[in-house]
């Protein structure tokens, strides 16, 4: 089990059949009024297959913000199942905005992946239990 935000995956990228288990806590930056006061819990399994880095696992975070309707404070959990494949030749150095931007040379950036998947899973709006359901116009 590996802890740390950047993990050396050079052996995997060289074709090793081993797997790398990652258990880490990664900070998530605030986004459009949603705050993550504690780091996200990250559990991943990495392996290499035919030049691709396969990443499977989950990311769990606790978020807080304001209800879009009544502005009351609300807390909610964000759970993301991760099943990603990254081209080992297209890392952040080659294309900083591309799919493989979690690869920095021979290092996998756990915090960057956690940030991306958690923010992409956020709902468009946050509502407290009193205001859940379809919007009323």
- Phi-psi region at 123: left, alpha or beta (left = phi > 0; alpha = psi -120 to 50): beta
Distance CA 9, CA 49 (A): 13
Q: For residue 131, what are the CA distances in angstroms to 18, 66, 77?
A: 48, 12, 17
CA angle 34, 36, 42 (to 5 degrees): 125
Q: Band of the pLDDT at 40, cuts 50, 70, 90? A: very high
d(CA 30, CA 1): 28
Of 84, 89, 135, nearest to 110 by C-alpha is 84
Condensed to tens digits (0 to 9), the pLDDT of residues 55-95 reads: 999 999 999 999 988 999 999 999 999 999 887 666 444 55
In this prediction, residues 24-36 reach a mean pLDDT of 94
Domain range annotation of the chain: 6-128
Structure token pair of residue 56: 């499977």
């Amino acid at each position: 089990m590996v802890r740390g935000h950047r993990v050396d995956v050079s052996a995997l990228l060289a074709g090793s059949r081993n797997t790398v288990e990652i258990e880490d806590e990664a900070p998530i930056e605030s986004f459009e009024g949603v705050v993550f006061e504690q780091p996200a819990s990250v559990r991943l399994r990495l392996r290499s297959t035919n030049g691709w880095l396969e990443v499977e696992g989950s990311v769990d975070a606790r978020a807080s913000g304001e209800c879009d309707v009544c502005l009351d404070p609300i807390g909610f959990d964000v759970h993301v199942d991760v099943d990603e494949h990254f081209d080992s030749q297209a890392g952040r150095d080659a294309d900083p905005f591309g799919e493989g931007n979690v690869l920095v040379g021979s290092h996998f950036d756990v915090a960057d992946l956690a940030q991306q998947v958690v923010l992409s899973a956020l709902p468009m709006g946050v509502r407290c239990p009193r205001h859940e359901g379809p919007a009323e116009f």
